Amino acid sequence: MKLTLGAKASAPAEKSAEKSAAPKAAPKKAEPAPKAAPKEEAPKGDTISADDSEGSGASAQTGSSEATGSGWSAPLANANVTTQYRASGASWSSGYHTGSDFQAASGTPVLAIGAGTVVSAGYSGSYGNEVVIKHEDGMYSQYAHQSSLNVSVGQTVTGGQQIGLSGSTGNSTGPHLHFEVRTGPSYGSDVDPIAYLRQHGVSL
């Protein structure tokens, strides 16, 4: 489950319901869209099936999507982590899972974890349909493999706001949400997304 993280074999990518091309750069005065991961660094298979609990780092961590008093939320209602951050394996080109995978049937609402500005919204290679949000603390959150998106570049969002629907686009073996938190907009600047959510009062 890779802006990412795990099956070792990829199924054909689901076509985007709304966009099939990489997102255009943001307007000159807007936050520039993050660069896509270099082709050679793109995950070979950053995800696992929604009901797969095998592989390194798999767990049944759950949490609620209700926004905290500070306005932060889990990325899905009743979030269930199926592959942990930094799970190791040859399935990922970086050698480890760069995000956390959440179980989600296709069409499950995907929620912004906190207030911020959308800096990327569209199809992005192995991540499929993704949304990247820059938060007020300068951190970035990424929501990948969505079936459809509800936001566009430059739009401001709040914690708990729906930004799309889960799916299996890009390099994915089944419907789920691949969620990352980064210090910058580019691939490779990942941090532990679950720890980040907990620091903001989200129970997982």
In the DSSP assignment, the letter for residue 40 is G
| Domains and their CATH numbers in the chain | 40-199 (2.70.70.10)
E strand or H helix at 195: helix 193-199
Q: Say what the pTM is.
A: 0.67
Q: Give mean pLDDT in consecutive 10-residue pieces for the chain, a chain of 204 residues.
A: 40 41 48 45 38 35 54 94 73 68 96 98 95 97 97 98 98 93 87 94 91
Place of tokens 């959308």: 118
Name 10's Cβ contacts closer than 8 Å, sequence gap at least 6.
44, 45, 171, 172, 173
**Is 178 marked active-site?**
no
Active-site option among 97, 135, 145, 176: 176
